Amino acid sequence: MSEPPQNDAAAATEEPEYQSGFGNHFSSEARPGALPRGQNSPLICPLGLYAEQISGTSFTAPRKHNQRSWLYRIKPSVTHKPFDRRVPRHDRLVGEFDRSTSSATPTQLRWRPADVPDSPVDFVDGLYTVCGAGSTFLRHGYAIHMYAANKSMDNCAFCNADGDFLIVPQQGRMWITTECGRLFVSPGEIVVLPQGLRFLVDLPDGPSRGYVAEVFGVHFQLPDLGPIGANGLAAPRDFLVPTAWFEEKFHPGYTIVQKFGGELFVAEQDFSPFNVVAWHGNYVPYKYDLNKFCPFNTVLIDHGDPSINTVLTAPSDKPGIALLDFVIFPPRWLVSEHTFRPPYYHRNCMSEFMGLIYGVYDAKADGFLPGGASLHSCMTPHGPDTKTFEATIAHGMDADPFRIKNTMAFMFESYLIPRVCPWVLDSPYLDCDYYQCWIGLKSHFSGEGSDRTGGAQQDEIMAVKGD
């Protein structure tokens, strides 16, 4: 098996081995015979290992929802000094969204791409909260973060006790070492790191930035397909899970950085947390290549709702309503007739945070750049900018089929209204003129034929064409 990148030589980029599937019960061992047979916690584990369970759900959760893994490690993770608050504090992480930490605003917001810092900054220090809702302590809600970093994590690992991370790299590849093994993640892929699992991030390309969605109290799952049937969207077999890998060496002063209630705490130990020789279970990290998504689309008239592009969903306690959906807008054909093909103007009871990994988003001709972001909160109107609208209607009724290519945009969508952090409202990257992209929209109302519905006009057009 290939060696992982070291912090002083993080340029190694050979893909490790993976297992495939979503929600499966996996087994993996880096040494033959390391997994116990017939039971989880024998009196003496094979190879003198310790058995340790990590649970992502309560023990009594319904069997189909229960998530847990058994780790067989050289030393148990409890072998560390007491936790202390990290100094200096990381003041731009939020776990409680209230008036003391964040603000409510219905205004449409957009940010230009953030610059990667000049001074050395790793993933943990480069992470900052943009917005969110709810509470880590109440185990309900979500946070949306972004990160900008240029340095691999050194002699430390990160543990998020608050929720699951869904990371969307936009610039720079990531080597992510976890207790279950290693993942190599590039822009155009995503990675999900479950609550409580320890990991470190190496940056083989140096300057890196991206987006992170965090959900409290629930886990991501594949959306139901309903009338679509058995196939389409994200296929379970395309999700990749690491194979067991471990390191055994003395690490004096190794630090565990734990995010707990939105604050950072640190504890020292003298060994690597990545000393798991074997494991089995269904509580695992995984990655997914967004280019493998199988989109569905309109083949006659009108524009489909963006929910048809959901990759993963974190459900709420209300059937059919998501705490947070992860939706993408990948390359695809536009073929609908007599239809305004870009996303329609709308107001939504859900709130939408959008990012752009590469290319151009088809609803914004200008200003929405790779690495940037926008936020349209509950019932705040939004839609295509003036340039996009005018260019679209200029094609008239006879627009040919058109392929959107070389693009990948995404959306985090939630039914909870987000509160926005003060540092992003005061950020130099905030586009204060965002509203101007719609100000140029003018009335095309002529007053003629106003007693005839659009549907009747469309029927007449189709009849003339012989459709």
Q: Look at residues 212, 207, 209, 219 and name the one whose alpha carbon lies nearest to residue 190.
A: 212
The strand pairing partners of 425, in sequence order, are none
pLDDT at 322: 95
The tokens describing 326, both together, are 């992860």
**Strand bridging mode 332-334 / 402-404:** antiparallel
- The answer to whether the annotation marks 346 as part of a ligand binding site is yes
- The answer to whether the annotation marks 128 as part of a ligand binding site is no
- The answer to whether the annotation marks 344 as part of a ligand binding site is no
Catalytic residue among 303, 338, 376, 444: 303
- Annotation marks residue 145 as catalytic: no
- The H-or-E segment that residue 436 falls in is helix 436-439
pLDDT at 449: 63
Q: How far apart are CA 272 and CA 279, in angstroms?
A: 17
Q: How far apart are CA 38 and CA 463, in angstroms?
A: 70
Amino acid at 315: P
pLDDT at 160: 98
Residue ranges of the chain with per-residue pLDDT less than 50? 1-11, 452-453, 456-457, 460-467
Other C-beta atoms within 10 Å of 245: how many?
A: 22
Amino acid at 127: L
Other C-beta atoms within 10 Å of 22: how many?
A: 19
Contact assessment for residue 197 and residue 242, using Cβ atoms and an 8 Å cutoff: no
**318: CB partners within 8 A, 6+ apart:** 415
Q: How far is CA 430 from CA 110, 374, 433, 434, 444, in A?
A: 6, 10, 9, 9, 32
- The answer to whether the annotation marks 361 as part of a ligand binding site is yes
**Three-state DSSP class for 292?**
helix
The residue behind tokens 């409890």 is 78
